[in-house]
Structure 1
Amino acid sequence: MKRILRKHTTTVFSAHCEPVLSVSPGETFIIETEDSRGGRTRLPEQCTPESLHKMRQQGYAGNPVVGPVYVEGAEPGDTLAVDIQDMVCDTQGYYGYWPFEQHLQDLIKDPVTRLVKIVEDKVVYTFHAGGKTHEMLLPVAPVIGTIGTAPKEEVVYTYHTGTHGGNLDVPEIGPGCTVYLPVAVKGAFLSLGDCHARQGDGELCAVEMRSEVKLSVRVLKNWTKQQKWLRVETEEELVTIACDRPLESAQWLAIREMISWLEERQGWTKSESREFLSIASDVKPGQSLAGPYSMRVLVPKKLLS
């Protein structure tokens, strides 16, 4: 089975990057991902405020992805269906934040990073607060935070988002899902990374980690002419994702995308689709900490005939 090593990282989605692997539709392969800081905070001494400030001063490009992968037969106008088969978690992860990015610099002075253990299907963390020690055991629920194809012309930093994908941070993008991405250039140039052992809505909480992602891709010809944003399908749900600033703009774009999907899939009118969403959908943030933000609309498939 073909495998891409995590040393093949990039911080951009671009058709100008040299592909590191070529795959055929239906072929299963493995991508080893790096963590969202490029492996620069994996030791306790790298997680002190002094070390974090120094790392930032030296130059910091977050959310490296591995790729790009050239998909044989993918042409502009096609849709790339990315089937995520499995994700293997590393044995160690971290969580961390920069107060200034979250408008907390008046409350919290220094950046925070803590290492956590990942043991089998649990995130294990010892938390010191209020003069006491708390050991937390949280279930693992792997997520691919950043995934996308190459835009037609521009070079896009992986931390940003757009119709090509990017730093989406959507919890549904994990094992067992299919991500539908637009193809803007020949070969699609798929890249992914920034995996999480678990993540909450809005990404206020996330355990960053290295991972091994097993996946395959399909090239869909003339699958849809209406898809403007991103679509994800799990065993139980349809999910549309849109990105914009302010947050409510991303929300309305995701709603419009779900209306289009229901119109195509169910044969309903736009008005009927919106009526259905009034009683059978959820709207949730994906990544709401650093814009452009991502919002998603979720529909239970069991309610669709």
Structure 2
Amino acid sequence: MTHHILKATSKTVHLGGFSHLLEPALTIDSGDTIDVETYSGYYVYDKAPPEFLTPEFLDICQNLAAERQIAAGPHLLTGPIYVRDAEPGDVLEVRLEAIAPSLPVGFNAIRTGWGALPHLFVQPALKFIPLDLANNIAEFPQNSGIKIPLKPFFGILGVATPENDRISIPPGSYGGNIDNRELQTGSRIFLPIFVPGALFSIGDGHSAQGDGEVNVTAIETSMNGRIMLKLRKDLQLTTPIAETSTDIITMGFAQTLDEALEIAVKNTIDFLKQFTNLSAEEAYVLCSLAVNFRITQVVNSPQKGVHGMLPKAILPNQISL
């Protein structure tokens, strides 16, 4: 197994979407680890304070080649990473071994026509929020005494599909813009693979976010991490599943929350049938008794997200994914 360092440069990032036609930024073997660098704020860099900007980030914003500008999404992603021997139908296990903000500032943006209340908050707004990295908090509003714990995670963890210009905004079976705040250091996510090499990309760092991400953004942050990518030919999935130290996380994505919840419940039932040998009816009852279904996000149009938290402690045997 090899350890790699993948810096974010104008040669190793792509903007706005995913494409299987992109030249890989890195090629690895299954089980390799990667120190990965990501930047956020491509479209607001000209309004940012100096501490938000690095020479490398400015070079990306000013010189990113047209062929690495994939679609109209706002996200700057590092990758894609090609995993040798990965084939459609396999599963990519992504272990999140370390996640940390790289700069002492992030931003939050309200975008006209987006968010949970677009009819009430019609004017765009952009706020840069200092991060107290020593104490792991952000105070917002400044001098209010309201201190938000920093719980960093990557909003986007996704693989390419046969579509060559898939926009980065909605999540789906490929992962993508999941925006699940539970996917912090120590967690794992399992993604179905759709094209040779998987072509995994990562970005959209969030220092803090509430479930729902209701005004469109979190504290959007340039983020560094260490990940391990492992090819799983022993698993078969059609939708992402994740695991933390305490829970199995199932997911549902759809155009309404009702539909997303229905899909998340069905995916939880399917998981329980496969890994605990419960009947469908028993699994459905258990979902009602012990699984916590939460709103992941309501803003990544056209897909809203719901995730189910299945506590591992209630199960008689350790589930090993």
TM over 0.5: yes
Question: SS of the counterpart of 1:274?
Answer: helix
| Larger CA deviation: 95-104 vs 286-295 | 95-104
Structure 2 contact 17–75 (Cα < 8 Å) conserved: no
String of CA shifts for 1:63-110, please: whole Å, max 9, x gaps.
221110001121111010000000121321111211421375654453
Question: Structure 1 residues 38, 189: CA separation in 2 closer, same or farther (over 3 Å shift)?
Answer: farther
Identity of aligned residues (%): 24
Deviation at 1:265, TM superposition (A): 1.1
The correspondence for 1:27, drawn from 32, 37, 57, is 32
| Larger CA deviation: 244-253 vs 112-121 | 112-121
Partners in 2 of 1:38 and 1:69 — Cα distance?
24
Structure 2 match to 1:216: 228
The correspondence for 2:290, drawn from 265, 280, 283, is 280
Question: Structure 1 residues 274, 16: CA separation in 2 closer, same or farther (over 3 Å shift)?
Answer: same
Residue identity opposite 1:281 in structure 2? V
Residue identity opposite 1:72 in structure 2? R
Partners in 1 of 2:165 and 2:262 — Cα distance?
26
String of CA shifts for 1:45-75, please: whole Å, max 9, x gaps.
9x9xxxxxxxxxxx97412211100011211
The correspondence for 1:95, drawn from 105, 108, 122, is 108
Partners in 1 of 2:44 and 2:224 — Cα distance?
15
Question: Structure 1 residues 15, 124: CA separation in 2 closer, same or farther (over 3 Å shift)?
Answer: same
Structure 2 contact 99–225 (Cα < 8 Å) conserved: yes
Question: Structure 1 residues 196, 178: CA separation in 2 closer, same or farther (over 3 Å shift)?
Answer: same
Partners in 1 of 2:213 and 2:40 — Cα distance?
15
The correspondence for 1:304, drawn from 295, 315, 320, is 315
String of CA shifts for 1:210-247, please: whole Å, max 9, x gaps.
011100011111313xx322100011000011211012
Q: Does 1:5 align with 2:7?
A: yes
Structure 2 match to 1:124: 138
Alignment of 1:102-117 (within 5 A): 102=115, 104=117, 107-117=120-130
Question: SS of the counterpart of 1:271?
Answer: helix
TM-score (norm 1): 0.87
Question: Structure 1 residues 192, 268: CA separation in 2 closer, same or farther (over 3 Å shift)?
Answer: same
Residue identity opposite 1:64 in structure 2? L
Partners in 2 of 1:126 and 1:12 — Cα distance?
31
Question: SS of the counterpart of 2:185?
Answer: coil
TM-score (norm 2): 0.83
String of CA shifts for 1:237-294, please: whole Å, max 9, x gaps.
0001121101211111111111111111111111111111110011111121232111
Partners in 2 of 1:229 and 1:186 — Cα distance?
18
Name the structure where strand makes up a greater proportion of residues.
1
Question: Structure 1 residues 278, 169: CA separation in 2 closer, same or farther (over 3 Å shift)?
Answer: same
Deviation at 1:185, TM superposition (A): 1.0
Structure 1 contact 65–158 (Cα < 8 Å) conserved: no
Deviation at 1:153, TM superposition (A): 3.8
Instruction: Structure 1: give runs of 5+ residues left out of the alignment.
Output: 48-58
Aligned length: 287
Partners in 2 of 1:20 and 1:273 — Cα distance?
42
Instruction: Structure 2: give runs of 5+ residues left out of the alignment.
Output: 53-70, 317-321
Question: SS of the counterpart of 1:19?
Answer: coil
